[in-house]
Amino acid sequence: MPEPLRILIAEDDTVIATDLQEALEALGHRVVGEASNGIEALRRAQELKPDLLLLDIKMPELDGIEVATRVLTECPAAIIMLTAYTDEALIERAEKAGALAYLVKPIREEALKPAIRMAMARFKELQALRAEVSNLKEALEARKLIERAKGILMEKLGLSEAEAMKRLQEQSRSRRKKLAEVAQAILLAQDLLT
């Protein structure tokens, strides 16, 4: 059985919220919080940092779609939207906001389990992609620094590109610093001297 999830329920109908909590607990998950309006849902998500949010689309004060958008930028979690509506425009808005599943009320326990499983799998994939993009951006920025530092060494010391790279690598090893850190130091020194 998969690890139990920490779940926040944001639903303004207390009967539905109670039924959801019972169904989630029967599936082995833990409901860490509840909210009856969008503002409270956002605050509770920021405070509790759940693994999964079940958000009613139509809530007082702030709708579930706006909550989803803000949660994904402030405290990422998997999101399943709950609604009594099957309006195509609403589904599209929920999808653009980052919802990973969409359940129509009344929600049956047997529909909840696969929706949760799929939402969590998609969320993990998205998190891995975000991490990969972040790593690639860092690598690209490091590469730009290294290229600029090599250019400075080539110009100032009359080195070939290979020799400049070798100097950077030697400094990196001897100082036990990343290549990008050595390159950054050269760029800072260059700025001081000009």
- Burial class of residue 190, CB neighbours in 10 A (0-12, 13-18, 19+): middle
* Confidence (pLDDT) at 135: 87
CATH 3.90.1200.10 at 6-107, yes or no: no
Q: What is the mean pLDDT of the chain?
A: 89
Percent of the chain clearing pLDDT 90 (strictly above): 43
Tell me: the pLDDT tens digits for 119-164? 888 888 888 887 788 889 898 998 999 999 999 999 989 999 999 9
Q: Where do the structural domains in the chain lie, given as residue ranges?
A: 6-107, 133-193
Mean pLDDT of 89-94: 81
CATH topology for the 133-193 domain: Arc Repressor Mutant, subunit A (1.10.10)
Q: Percentage of residues in the chain with pLDDT exceeding 70?
A: 99
Q: Is the pLDDT of residue 29 over 90?
A: yes
Q: What is the pLDDT of residue 1?
A: 54
What average pLDDT does this structure show over 39-68?
A: 91
